Amino acid sequence: MPKVVLVHPQIPPNTGNIARTCAATQTELHLVAPLGFEISDRYLKRAGLDYWEYVNLTVHDSIDDFQTYSQSQGGRWIGFSAKATQNFTQIQYRDDDWLLFGCETAGLPDDVMQTCPILAYIPITQPAVRGFNLSVSAALGLFEARRQLGHLS
């Protein structure tokens, strides 16, 4: 099953919402520090509601630590970015993919994007809108991967 990775998330409610989505779908959630909040943050906990016990959460101290971990597990990094050139629906997802999303203010760091063999964007019709909310982007990416892989039952 694809895994969701948040690189340097900053806003607790977004991470809490993503954690709830991961709990509901039994999807691993990986957070890459530095984080813009403490894991014990009340807004993070509130957004995840009563579902934290169902979240398979791993926090990595740095992108290097995450890279070492993910390489030991196998799979591709798919970076989601407004700067990407491949529509996220045109990717052929695999069960071992890592879906990487950057922080709310800056997106994925350039050095992380350079490490991703695949970069995906989520189309936006209105040019004045820079991007979707992080929790919406993560849900869209995860559910497209799950749809293609037959995990929507």
Tell me, rounded to whole angstroms, the distance of Cα 20 from its chain centroid.
13
Length of the chain: 153
Binding residues for S-adenosyl-L-methionine, as ranges, are: 102, 122
- List C-alpha distances in Å: 14 to 115, 128, 132, 150, 153: 25, 22, 12, 26, 26
Within the chain, what is the greatest distance between any pair of CA atoms? 41
Binding residues, as ranges, are: 102, 122
